Structure 1
Amino acid sequence: MLFLLPPSETKRDGGVEGSSLDFDVLSFPALNRPRRSVVAALVRLSRDVDASLVALKISDRLRFEVERNRALRGSETLPALERYTGVVYDPIGAAALSQEATAWAGEHVAIQSALFGLVGALDPIPAYRLSHDSRLPGVSLAKTWAAPVARALVLRGAPVVDLRSEAYVDLGPAPPGSAYARIVSDADGRRRALNHFNKKTKGTLVSRLVESRPELASVGDFVDWARGCGMVVEREESGLVVVSESVLGL
Structure 2
Amino acid sequence: MLILLPPSEGKTAPARGKPLDLASLAHPGLTDVRRRVLDTLVEVSHREDAAELLGLGHTQTDLLERNRRLETAPTARADRVYTGVLFDALGFATLSPAARRRATGRVAVTSSVFGLVRPTDRIPAYRLSGDTSLPGLGPVAGAWRAVLGEAIEESLGRGLLVDLRSGTYAGFWRPPATLARRVATVRVLHEAGGVRKVVSHFNKATKGRIVRALLEDGRDPRTPAALADVLRDLGWKVEDGAPTPRGAQLDVVVDEV
What's the TM-score once normalised by structure 1's chain length? 0.91
Partner of 2:62: 64
C-alpha deviations, 1:129-183, integer Å up to 9, x for none? 0011223111121221112112221222233111011111101113512122111
Separation of aligned partners in 2, 1:18 and 1:154: 31
Separation of aligned partners in 1, 2:69 and 2:97: 31
> Equivalences for 1:4-153 in 2 at 5 Å?
4-14=4-14, 17-48=16-47, 50-140=48-138, 141-153=140-152
Separation of aligned partners in 2, 1:58 and 1:125: 21
> Equivalences for 1:230-249 in 2 at 5 Å?
230-236=235-241, 237-238=243-244, 239-245=248-254
* Runs of 5+ unmatched residues, structure 2: none
Contact residue 70 and residue 126 of structure 2 kept, 8 A: yes
Structure in which a larger fraction of residues adopt strand: 2
SS at match of 2:192: coil
2:121 is aligned with what amino acid?
D
Change (3 A) 1:190 1:133: same
1:35 is aligned with what amino acid?
R
Separation of aligned partners in 2, 1:68 and 1:89: 21
- Greater shift, 30-39 or 187-196, is seen at 187-196
Change (3 A) 1:59 1:240: same
What's the CA shift for 1:38? 0.1
Runs of at least 4 residues of structure 1 off by over 6 A?
A: none
1:185 is aligned with what amino acid?
H
Separation of aligned partners in 2, 1:179 and 1:243: 12
1:201 is aligned with what amino acid?
T
CA RMSD of aligned residues (A): 1.8
What's the TM-score once normalised by structure 2's chain length? 0.89
2:215 is aligned with what amino acid?
V
Aligned residues: 246
SS at match of 1:89: helix
Separation of aligned partners in 1, 2:49 and 2:101: 41
* Runs of 5+ unmatched residues, structure 1: none
> Equivalences for 1:143-182 in 2 at 5 Å?
143-156=142-155, 157=157, 158-175=159-176, 176=179, 177-182=182-187
SS at match of 1:91: helix
1:155 is aligned with what amino acid?
E
What's the CA shift for 1:235? 2.3
Separation of aligned partners in 2, 1:221 and 1:90: 27
Contact residue 3 and residue 161 of structure 1 kept, 8 A: yes
What's the CA shift for 1:242? 2.9
Separation of aligned partners in 1, 2:200 and 2:35: 33
Contact residue 201 and residue 244 of structure 1 kept, 8 A: no
Question: Matched residues, percent identical?
Answer: 37
Contact residue 92 and residue 206 of structure 1 kept, 8 A: yes
C-alpha deviations, 1:37-89, integer Å up to 9, x for none? 000101111222x3220111011111100110111111111221221111111
1:227 is aligned with what amino acid?
R
Change (3 A) 1:214 1:80: same
C-alpha deviations, 1:73-129, integer Å up to 9, x for none? 111112212211111111122223332221111111111111111111221111000
Separation of aligned partners in 1, 2:223 and 2:24: 28
